[in-house]
Amino acid sequence: MIVTESLSKRFPRVTALDRLSVDIGPGVTGLVGANGAGKSTLIKILLGLSPATEGRAAVLGLDVATEGAAIRERVGYMPEHDCLPPDVSATEFVVHMARMSGLPPTAARERTADTLRHVGLYEERYRPIGGYSTGMKQRVKLAQALVHDPRLVFLDEPTNGLDPVGRDEMLGLIRRIHTDFGISVLVTSHLLGELERTCDHVVVVDGGKLLRSSSTTDFTQSTTTLAVEVTDSDTHPDGTRALREALHARGVDTHDDGGGLPGAGHILLLTAQGEETYDLVRDTVAGLGLGLVRMEQRRHHISEVFTRDEQRKEAVGHGG
């Protein structure tokens, strides 16, 4: 679906993409990277909207440098930022976008009704977009990307600004774009955790470079972080500390969750090596006489993956 070869994009002060080579097949693919990693830049190059400084890329077999218009006919695009006119209704806007894509008037109206229903906008679709919630606006942006029945869609941070329920609904919709309509999806996010659940394949970029490209199953297996929370007890007034020391004595390193979430200081994070780690933690907690509040696989923030990859690279470097 998408192939890039040593693709680079340099701005005067920053290299947004640095010799990126990646091959993305059909299905739902997540493009993950911290803010500024180069995700939006890659999408713009793939749509033929911005020229690469070096290297080559093809989308659906079409060259991004010379066949941008043909690519945009076949690919839908949901941009990251708010780009909707406030004074028109979702129906008017999406019909307009369908007409812009070359659909005749009747087909444009029919496709608009179908697509808005598919993304979950019903009677609201006749009201001006200016009064919509963020979630409804994201749905309109998604609908305009799908209305011309593309083979592939690029969704740039579609869950931005949504609350947890809105995120889950959006992720469900994205999955169904592929399962119900056979449309392939490239979706960006700075949160690996949410893409793990939605994508078949994940591509991680950092500083414009490819950090990893692998199937989601490979990815999650190699990045299993456990979050453990325990109670205090009379014997151990600081239960977390007691557990940290006991685990350390058994050769398991932990670190505190610095995520800034309420109560985050009381959560210990550690890397699970398999079932044995779960057993070891459970037995250690029981041995200390503490209560186990939770032990769960943690959603990963992308920075953890970067850290782990850097550590692995260093380890490989030292070994060789």
Binding site for ligand ATP (CB under 6 A): 11, 14, 16, 33, 35-41, 80, 157
How much of the chain is in helix, strand and coil states, percent to nearest 5? Answer: 45, 25, 30
C-alpha separations of 186 from 13, 200, 210, 270, 312 in Å: 28, 11, 15, 31, 27
- The residue among 38 and 158 lying less far from ligand ATP, judged by its C-beta, is 38
Q: Which is nearer to ligand ATP, 8 or 254 (CB)?
A: 8
Range 37-67 burial, b when 16+ CB lie within 10 A, else e: bbbbbbbbbbbbebebeebebbbeebebeeb
User: Which pair of tokens denotes residue 113?
Assistant: 């009704």
Residue 304 CB, nearest distance to ligand ATP (Å)?
17
**Nearest-approach distance from CB 148 to ligand ATP, in angstroms:** 24
Element (H, E) at 15: strand 15-24
| Residue with smaller CB distance to ligand ATP, 33 or 150 | 33
Q: Give the shortest CB-59-to-ligand ATP separation in angstroms.
A: 17
Of 141 and 236, which has the nearer Cβ to ligand ATP? 141
Residues 6+ apart with CB under 8 A from 132: 90, 124, 140
Minimum CB distance to ligand ATP smaller for 79 or for 135:
79
Complex with ligand ATP: residue 17 or 290, whichever CB lies closer: 17
* Min CB(25)–ligand ATP separation in Å: 22
Contact between 228 and 188 (Cβ < 8 Å) = no
Which DSSP helix (H) or strand (E) runs through 19? strand 15-24
- Min dist CB 258 to ligand ATP, Å, is 22
Nearest to ligand ATP of 36, 193 (CB atom)? 36
Residues 6+ apart with CB under 8 A from 94: 112, 115, 116, 140, 143, 144, 147
Q: At closest approach, how far in Å is the CB of 18 from ligand ATP?
A: 10
CB 226 within 8 A of CB 270: yes
**Nearer Cβ to ligand ATP (11/122):** 11
Do the beta carbons of residue 76 and residue 145 sit within 8 Å? yes
Closest contact distance (angstroms) between CB of 256 and ligand ATP is 27
How far are the Cα atoms of 7, 148, 194, 216 from residue 28, in angstroms, in the given order?
22, 19, 13, 10
| Closest CB 23 distance from ligand ATP, rounded Å | 20
